[in-house]
Chains A and B, each alone.
Chain A
Amino acid sequence: PKETIAKEPSVRTLKLATLYSEGKELFKSVQFFTNEIEKRTQGKIKFKIFPGNSLVPSKQALSAVHTNVVDSAFVPAAYEQQLWPLTGMLMTFGAPNITYEKFRHIHDQLRKIINKNLDINVVILGMPHILNYFYYSKEPLKGKLMDFENALVRSAGGAYDASFKALGCRPVQIPASEVYMALQKGTIDSGWNIYSRYTEGKLYEVAPHVVVIPKGMVISGQHFVINKRVWNSFPADIQRVLLEVGRDVVAFTNDMSSASDKRILEEVLPKLNIEPIIMNETENELLIKKLESVWGPVIGKFGKTGEEIAKIIGVR
């Protein structure tokens, strides 16, 4: 690309698309990642960040990496499940407490499956242990499974639909930008996200009743994705640095997220007069059991039995 102004011939500037922009928490992860790589490769790899969807919409970020419109992207897992079906799956089951080591192992297996089809190389598949928020507009919740019964919940479709149905919710498909209005007017009455969407999206203004679910769906997996040809063009030492930083950024993000989880629960929400109910362990186990019923059929679609893939992913 023309804009790579090379001071020395070996300097590469990679285009990185992300939906986060300065001021959003996860942008710090993006910055940590790019800064560390620049530092540890002695400036041989640099990044040109396109923040806040300013280059490609986040829903198109993966295919933009796939077609090498951008070299890399930092995206949540939820997008473009057609290109990356296993990510959709990862979000649907109750997240067990996976250690990073174990997760790395799962991830390596996943990467093999993904890369068989696509020129995408997943360097990081981050999975911070973030609390899930189920918020409701109409009346206080009890922190029990019955809270989900018949709730009109906004769903992104696909695996989400199945999970919500398993919980007894009624998933509704409306544009993300109309969620606030729909909660306000009563078109839908609930949603399920991590804290950032709830607080940054100001959804507490229209849905003040919250159940916090310690082990829910993994929604916030953050991925750094790089085009395979670009990846293959790097010498082994640079590839190693990228993987190392990838590991560190997951740790960085996890620390940051759990600190935020705590801060939101203990400081931010009380200031807003929001009193979240934390789901107890027994109830949470029941919830995970219900979500597991979604597992088999979804995984079955990918040509292997649910049990077999579950074994590969290492959660059973």
Chain B
Amino acid sequence: MFLHFIIRVNRIADYLNAIMFFFMAVAVVIAVFGRYFLHIPLPEAMNLAYFAMLWSAFLQTGKALYKNSHVSMDFIIQYLPYKSRAIAGIIINIIILVTVVPLFWYSTFFTWESFIYGWNFPGSFPLPMFLLYGIMALGSFYLGTITIFKIIEHRKEIKMSD
């Protein structure tokens, strides 16, 4: 069930991420061509690229953790016996969870505030700020979900080895 859910979310995140990369590349290219060849600079396009970058990062960070792509120095842990490795895995994921909880909590706070007060992005493209803080809340929530999934998986491993 849980795994099924994660795989599904990852797939959705991949599609959205592809769209964000498309936005980034196209927005910058349009900004450059508009400025140099048509003499019409489009500062809004550059802003759009920054938003897409933020979205992409927070869409992919949970999946990166799921795929063990968040780089770590694994040269000690890989030599541990099976059960100790699972225990270490639990501790590592608890540490990750400790960092993710405040990130989720406070980005939710900023999402709420920016929504209530109607803050807009202070650049050329006045996107509502809650869309930017919102993806941070969503992305870090998913990151937390993955750590809990990993803790459960490691517990299963420990039980199996007993």
- Direct touch of chains A and B (CB < 8 A): yes
A 160-197 binary contact with B (CB < 8 Å = 1; else 0) = 01000000001111100000000000010000000000
A172 touches B129 (CB 8 A): no
Given known pairs A82-B129, A117-B117, A152-B35, the reply for A161 and B124 (CB within 8 Å) is yes
A157: contacting residue among B117, B119, B122, CB under 8 A: B122
- A150 at the A/B interface (Cβ < 8 Å)? yes
Q: How far is the CA of A187 from the CA of B119 in the complex (A)?
A: 31
B119: contacting residue among A82, A152, A155, A170, CB under 8 A: A82
Q: How far is the CA of A170 from the CA of B41 in the complex (A)?
A: 6
B122 touches A82 (CB 8 A): yes
B43 touches A161 (CB 8 A): yes
Q: How far is the CA of A161 from the CA of B47 in the complex (A)?
A: 13
Number of A-B contacts (CB under 8 A): 49
Q: How far is the CB of A148 from chain B (nearest CB, A)?
A: 14
A172 touches B119 (CB 8 A): no
Interface centre among A117, A157, A171, A187 (most CB of B within 10 A): A157
Chain B residues within an 8 Å CB radius of A155: 43, 124
Interface centre among A88, A150, A161 (most CB of B within 10 A): A161
Q: How far is the CA of A107 from the CA of B123 in the complex (A)?
A: 24
- A147 at the A/B interface (Cβ < 8 Å)? no
Q: Report whether over half of chain A's contact residues are helix, strand or loop; otherwise say mixed.
A: loop
- B121 at the A/B interface (Cβ < 8 Å)? yes
- B93 at the A/B interface (Cβ < 8 Å)? no
Given known pairs A158-B126, A172-B43, the reply for A82 and B114 (CB within 8 Å) is yes
12 sample A-B contacts, Cβ–Cβ < 8 Å, listed by A number: A80-B122, A81-B122, A118-B117, A158-B122, A161-B43, A170-B35, A172-B43, A173-B31, A173-B41, A173-B46, A173-B47, A173-B124
Interface residues of chain A, those whose CB is within 8 Å of chain B, are: 80-83, 88, 117-118, 150, 152, 155-158, 161, 170-174, 187
Across chains A and B, which 5 residue pairs bring their CB atoms closest together, nearest first? Answer: A157-B123, A173-B43, A81-B122, A82-B119, A157-B124
